[in-house]
Amino acid sequence: MTQSPQTNAKGFSKAFWVSNTVELFERMAYYAVFIVLTIYLSNILGFNDFEASMISGLFSGGLYLLPIFTGAYADKIGFRKSMIIAFSLLSAGYLGLGVLPTLLEAAGLVEYGEVTRFSGLADSSERWMIVPVLFVIMLGGSFIKSIISASVAKETTEATRARGYSIFYMMVNFGAFTGKTIIDPLRNAIGEQAYIYINFFSATMTILALLSVVLLYKSAHTAGEGKSMREIGQGFLRIITNWRLLILILIVTGFWMVQQQLYATMPKYVIRMAGETAKPGWIANVNPFVVVCCVSFITKWMAKRTAITSMNIGMFLIPVSALLMACGNLLGNEIISGMSNITLMMILGIVVQALAECFISPRYLEYFSLQAPEGEEGMYLGFSHLHSFLSSIFGFGIAGVLLTKYCPDPALFATREAWEAASANAHYIWYYFAGIGLVAAIALLIFAKTTESIDKKKKV
């Protein structure tokens, strides 16, 4: 059989590989910033734990809510134009995150160095300038959420789709790993100013992605482009009346509420509990490292199993991961000399969490892509991210409350002893998330059994 010039020897088109490459750049940019976003908001802009968590949660949530609409718009105007819009907005937004502190410092509200010195910023309305900056990033990122995963759907066949999403998810996590490695060496070198300069790295990555799309991306699959708004509305109605997809989204939200704690709770938790020398960037990198190493193997291993079966296995791993994280505060002497038990058990918990992700995420995207009619991939894959909107809002919101209650900011206490007394039960945070994960796992098991029974009756 003669191959199309757009298709390489392994059965994937040039557009598929360009899509995955720009996803790599985008994830490097996003995770370099997002791993320390709550710290940036607190240490650079002066927001308290709850405010920082809510701003981060709304930002992350918006990134996953807007793809429902930007995905439909991307189907209309085409993926190439959509990617150009997306990476232009992202580049402007990340530059804004880097420039904003300079403007605040010039206004005499703060002085940045190895340690930030506030001079009225915490009481100033000018720090809220962060909101439009984050909105620009949120809008640009929302295009990417639907476009890249939908492009993978368009550029693969039924035979290559599972492998295509495995490659896509490996690139996502390789980007996440690489982005997170930047922050800790930078923090060691220049202190808290690292939370400012990391944004310029992210802007560079999205500019490279923009150039890659302009110069290299061209897809032969254009079905759906030029749709009327009425046709888009009809497609949207088909999605929101699909009860299976809606229930699955709600269930998987439980998994992602636990997963969000890599960014909502973990960075502040390990720095406060294990000390300022803790490296949250490296700890968080355990997740993408394990995923990159294992996702292809697990996808092949589960290839003959249904997507729901694979997801069920992952869902029952997630409460185990949260319980392991809780153990760090319960153990006595250091198990590994020179490594805090907080750090050790956090790493072990994240390993299990990453394995759960390998079973769940690629197959979840595959499940959604198979529901999408031709020409509506962007809309359906945009809608698939609704679980992350819900988990961001609730996950970050709960994290802000739990951090304030069980692991508060040491700066709020007159003595170290007073803080230690207030944070003695910091590990309770992870019990809450273990409970959420367990409820979600049981719900998915019931969902699988129920839908299997319904499908069998339809075949009779």
pLDDT digits (tens, 9 = 90+) for 344-365: 999 999 999 999 998 988 788 7
Work out the average pLDDT over 370-375: 69
Specify the pTM.
0.73
Tens-digit pLDDT profile for residues 28-41: 999 899 888 988 99
pLDDT of residue 74: 78
For residue 199, give the amino acid letter. Answer: N
pLDDT band at 3 (very low <50, low <70, confident <90, very high): very low
Q: Which residue in this structure is represented by tokens 């557009």?
A: 15
Percent of the chain with pLDDT over 90: 33
Q: Report which of 188, 209, 30 is spatially closest to residue 114, judged by C-alpha positions.
A: 188
pLDDT exceeds cutoff 90 at 198: yes
CATH superfamily of domain region 14-218: MFS general substrate transporter like domains (1.20.1250.20)
Q: What is the rounded CA–CA span in Å between residue 298 and residue 2? A: 32
The reported pLDDT for the residue numbered 1 is 34
pLDDT > 60? residue 9: no
**Same fold across 14-218 and 227-459:** yes
Name the architecture of domain 227-459. Up-down Bundle (1.20)
Closest C-alpha to 325, from 345, 344, 343 = 345
Burial of residue 99 (number of CB atoms within 10 Å: 0-12, 13-18, 19+): middle
Q: What is the pLDDT of residue 249?
A: 87
pLDDT range class, residue 5, cuts 50, 70, 90 = very low
Which range has highest mean pLDDT (113-127, 214-228, 306-320, 429-443)?
429-443
Cα separation, 420 vs 381, in Å, equals 46
Amino acid at 198: I
Domain ranges within the chain, ordered by starting residue: 14-218, 227-459
pLDDT over threshold 50, residue 6? no
> In the predicted model, what is the mean pLDDT of the chain?
85
Confidence of residue 70 (pLDDT cuts 50, 70, 90): confident
pLDDT tens digits, 274-291: 887 888 888 988 988 888
pLDDT at residue 221 is higher than 60: no
Tokens of 418: 């007073």
Q: Is 111 helix (H, G, I), strand (E, B) or coil?
A: strand
Q: Please give the Cα distance from 33 to 199 (Å, whole number).
A: 6
How high is the pLDDT of residue 351? Answer: 96
* pLDDT > 70: percent of the chain: 92
pLDDT digits (tens, 9 = 90+) for 315-346: 999 999 999 999 998 887 778 887 889 999 99
State how far the Cα of 21 lies from the Cα of 27, in Å rounded to an integer. 10
Q: Kindly indicate the confidence band of residue 10, based on its pLDDT and cuts at 50, 70 and 90.
A: low
Residue 228 reports pLDDT greater than 70: no
Query: pLDDT tier at 205 (50, 70, 90 boundaries)?
Result: very high
Q: 291 has which bridge partners? A: none
Question: What's the mean pLDDT in 207-229?
Answer: 74
